[in-house]
Structure 1
Amino acid sequence: MINFPELLRKGKTFSTSKQGIIFFIWLAIALFFAINSLITHRFNNYLIFENVFRNLLSEQSFYAQYPQFHDDVNHYGQVFSLFIAPFAMLPNWLGLILWNVFNCVILFYALQTLPVKSDKRVMIGYIAIPCLIESMLNQQFNATAAAFIILSFTRLNNNKGLWSSLFIVLGTFIKLYGILGLAFFFFVKNKARFILYLSMWSVVFFILPMFFSSPLTIFESYQEWFIALAEKNLTNTTQGSVPISIIGFFRSLIYDYDIPNLAFLMPGAFIFMIPFLKWSSFQDKTFRLLILASALLFPVLFSTSSEDCTYIIS
């Protein structure tokens, strides 16, 4: 039986706590910028997202231009069409508001699962506010991408490999950044079982969209996704856009925008992997948190498409 007086007491305690204050600040930011986007008609990203669900049902390309609905194109994976579905089925004004709130809440929840003291989580919450504003202003998925990486770490840290693997695979199938969760594989005790979990979720998320569209359409869309990502990377590299990352910094510093991405990615990957040589520290809590921090920083610092709204991941 639900103890409502106890729930009310806990709710009142949370609302007046430091965690509660930062939560309501975050929530206010999510709501304010969702409403602001609606008033100013500045929610093209959300229109791209919700149209992906429509394309799933009508068996149309996820990556084509749809100028009658939005500018630009989608770059997210096939399973995103189902992830966005609960919001896409609502009127745009309501779907957008709830989408922002969802991204805000899931990241806040993920931060609460970190094995650090409450005061440090509060500090992280305040530090993240400028990045949260940018993410909410642009209706971005990046807050959830960060939450998935964090949750893949914290679930694994609590010996919940099934759920950790879910967040890794789901994050990867939506936006490739999720694959950074595999960095925590080194901390897994039963690696064979974890690989089984990863394989199981991969099959689930691969075939799930096929229940709502034809298998042929989904198979072809994976090839389209690869092409779309390659084209986006080429555009970011050749059309003068400067990502807010190490890649963009050095290209701007020496005025050479033709430096290949691998010239940055290979050293970056090497630096990222160096700590894993310290086998004796794999069970150390601080070491694991540093690896998590590194995994969150890497996709931002070594990306050709990093923007201000991407930094909520780091």
Structure 2
Amino acid sequence: MKNIFLSLFLVLFFTFSCIDNPETPGISPSVDQIEMEAEGGIQQIDFTTVDWSIDRIENVNSNSRIFGDIFSSQNERISENVLLELEVEGKLEAIWPDKGFVIVRNGQDKLEISLQENSTGEQFGFRIILSSAKGERAITVSQKASQGYEFKEIEYYIGDRDSDSLYWRTGSKLKLTVPNSQEMEFTPIGGIDVNSSYFFTSDASDAFVWLKADSVEVKLPAHFQDGEIYYAEDRGIYTEYVQSEELDYSHIKEQITVPAGSSEFRNEFEMRHRVVSYALLMTNNRTGKEKRIVGKLIQIAPTGNYEVILVD
């Protein structure tokens, strides 16, 4: 009789044990803690199960949910600037000017996490919250703050859509009424918007982050000739903001003969518009590796040529 009760007890024990601990496993990523350097990179994650989805992405610092774009497995944008979640295969993307990530579910049991370079100056982190019928599981991603870059050199070259063109602008007008014809001094290139100016532009999101606080001086092109680039003695600042300089042309004075009675003069002056490609080279303070950023330098300046015209 004891053996019967013992057998019955064992049967009931294993039955309830199977109910409490079913054979179907929970969410089991190959890693649940990822730490990357500031330069970014890619991490592959494998799963032993396929019955899970990305419920949300959270900011580590504030626990707030992260917005971004959702793509299908065919890389077609499904939603833009929405709370990130993904039930099936596809891609989630959250890119800012100074950091960002892309998460791709390229198989039912695979995730690929790709981080952009972190140029914020502080650590960046987020949590991927996975859910299934068994509950939730988090994958925490953290990225170190960058140690910055040191300027190495800048190179200029003539690339696609680069140009060095001239055009004429109409300047100021001078209306006069005098009783007798007389000579008068006139400044033909003086006035507003005749300074020499330049600025740099680039499609790279971090083109101006690394050297912004350093006011790095760089060489500037002076003119082109037979495909060669010649440089000015004066240097400029590498910046996306317009830099202006007053030239000696602004102080040129012209003697004009003013006829008796009412008359009007106008001046026209020649301007140069130059677009040239550049490659900025920097050295990573942590790795010693070289970083290359390409873009365009825009230069606008008067050439010094002008005309003073008596309006009929």
Which structure has the highest strand share of the two?
2
Alignment TM-score, normalising by the size of structure 1? 0.19
Q: Which has the larger radius of gyration?
A: 2
* Greater relative contact order structure (CA < 8 Å, 6+ sep): 1
